[in-house]
Amino acid sequence: MAQPKQERALHTRSQIIRAAAEVFNEYNFAEASLSKIVSRAGVTMGAIYFHFSSKEELAKAVMSEQAADVPLPHGEDGLQKLIDITIDMAHQLQHNVLLRAGVRLAVEQGAFGVTDDAAYVLWIERLREQLVAASERGELLPTIEVDEFARVLVGAYTGTQLLSQITTGHTDLPERITNLWRYLLPGVAAPGVISQLRLGPRTAEQEL
């Protein structure tokens, strides 16, 4: 039976976004030509324009879908899971091309005339959910305003990953994020909570 047109179209769109992520990850926006993306995706230029009206629109799609295949770590919602998410994302940024390209484009978007905070809003909301759970569990100081701290955390993370990318190509990002938490936790965690938290990588048992 022939594959339904809608399913084929979705597959082609996903194929184009993946190829675009690879090209945007390797080149800056100006050098990442549509012809390079067409060649990488193995589709026609017509297929590109069927799904995206311009390279800018394709870049926005990569930014908005950067977290599509980033799984959240297991475990109970709260401060530990929040830390795990940020450290897991640091590892993902070392090899997950869609995430790497989306983050790079989100940082560089002003250079190609786009102002889109959707990717930042997505991560702010993901981290905010864990902060709400942490607050309900009594893990945060009573002075912490979760919406505000979620924004502060995403801003701090963005700057940390950018510096790591520039200096080491993200090879030291997990260590930098761990150090970020060492300085942040005394200002946000309730007394007695810090000693119960793990900043290192999870064990195989903790992955289950």
Total count of residues recorded for the chain: 208
Q: If pLDDT is split at 50, 70 and 90, which confidence band does 147 have?
A: very high
At 205 the pLDDT is 47
pLDDT tens readout for residues 164-180: 999 999 999 999 999 99
pLDDT of res. 39: 94
In this structure, are 201 and 121 located in the same domain?
yes
122 burial via Cβ count (<10 Å: 0-12, 13-18, 19+): middle
Do residues 54 and 90 both lie within one domain? no
- 28/89 same-domain check: no
Same domain, 141 and 39: no
Task: Assign 138 a pLDDT band (cuts: 50, 70, 90).
Answer: very high
60 and 85 assigned to the same domain:
no
Q: Compute the distance between CA of residue 174 and CA of residue 157 in angstroms, rounded to an integer.
A: 11
Task: Tell me: do 85 and 56 sit in the same domain.
Answer: no
pLDDT for position 1 = 42
Residue 187 placed within a domain: yes
Nearest to 104 by CA among 19, 167, 26: 26
Q: With a cut of 80, say whether residue 70 has pLDDT above it.
A: no
Nearest residue to 92 (alpha-carbon basis) of 174, 197, 186: 174
pLDDT tens figures, 174-203: 999 999 999 999 999 999 999 999 997 665
125 & 189 share domain: yes
Per-residue CA distances from 201 to 54, 119, 126, 157, 177 (Å)? 41, 25, 20, 18, 12
Instruction: Please tell me whether residues 26 and 99 are part of one structural domain.
Output: no
Number of domains composing the chain: 2
State which of 64, 88, 112 marks the end of a domain.
64
Range of the domain at 165: 79-207
